[in-house]
Amino acid sequence: MRHELTGRCVKEPVEPVPTPCRPGQYRSPTTGRCRNIVNEPELAPCKPGQYRSPETGRCRNISKLKTQTPCREGYYRSEITGRCRSIAAAAAKTLKPCPDGKFRNPATGRCKKIAADSDVLKECAEGFERNPKTKRCRKVALATAPKPGFAPEQVKQVTGAMWGWWVLGGVSLLAVGYAGWQWRWEIGRAAGWLKHAITRGKR
């Protein structure tokens, strides 16, 4: 074939022919590689008194299917799962979406206004206060003294401590008096010498 830009003859590219896959394999159209053919395992037959659910593929008791407890008010039994589902929740999926600023109540299935912080709320009556979570007025609880976060320590006045100070003072006085008695001569001589020195200094 002739090249469009150079005008020279070039060899036409040949697409490679893929090697056929081995028995038990197939070529993936996405990757072009051979993949093993996975055979679906055969299901074991259900026990007597059971049946295989086409939705889940599991064996279920026939007696339980016949004697199912009826769903409570506001619920219905799903044909797919066999479980009770909320009618309001199922209706909310098929109802029109709520307008801006509203949301659908899952209990009632109705649209309700989303409370904004900028909404002006009326003042509560005397003796009431507004709950910050529900934005509703509630009765003011009687003021009680807050409980401390720790157990208060009981201060006990111990009279024995005062007696200890008196005993210590008495023992100290006895020690000073005993020392003065033992050193009375030395103290007397020192006092005389000090007196003599003072009188000589005044002359």
User: How far, in whole angstroms, is CA 141 from its chain's centroid?
Assistant: 29
Close Cβ partners of 53 (under 8 Å, ≥ 6 residues apart): 59, 60
Residue at 74 is within a domain: yes
Domain of residue 84: give its range: 45-94
Residue at 85 is within a domain: yes
Residue at 84 is within a domain: yes
Q: What is the pLDDT of residue 67?
A: 62
For the ranges 33-37, 148-152, 168-172, the lowest mean pLDDT is seen at 148-152
- Which pLDDT band, with edges at 50, 70 and 90, does 31 fall under? confident
> Residue 14, Cβ neighbours under 10 Å: how many?
6
3-state secondary structure 66-83: HCCCCCCCCEEECCCCCC
Structural domain count, the chain: 1
pLDDT tens column, 131-148: 877 778 888 876 555 555
pLDDT tens column, 12-27: 766 777 788 988 888 8
Q: What is the pTM of this model?
A: 0.20
Residue 162, pLDDT above cutoff 60: yes
Residue at 58 is within a domain: yes
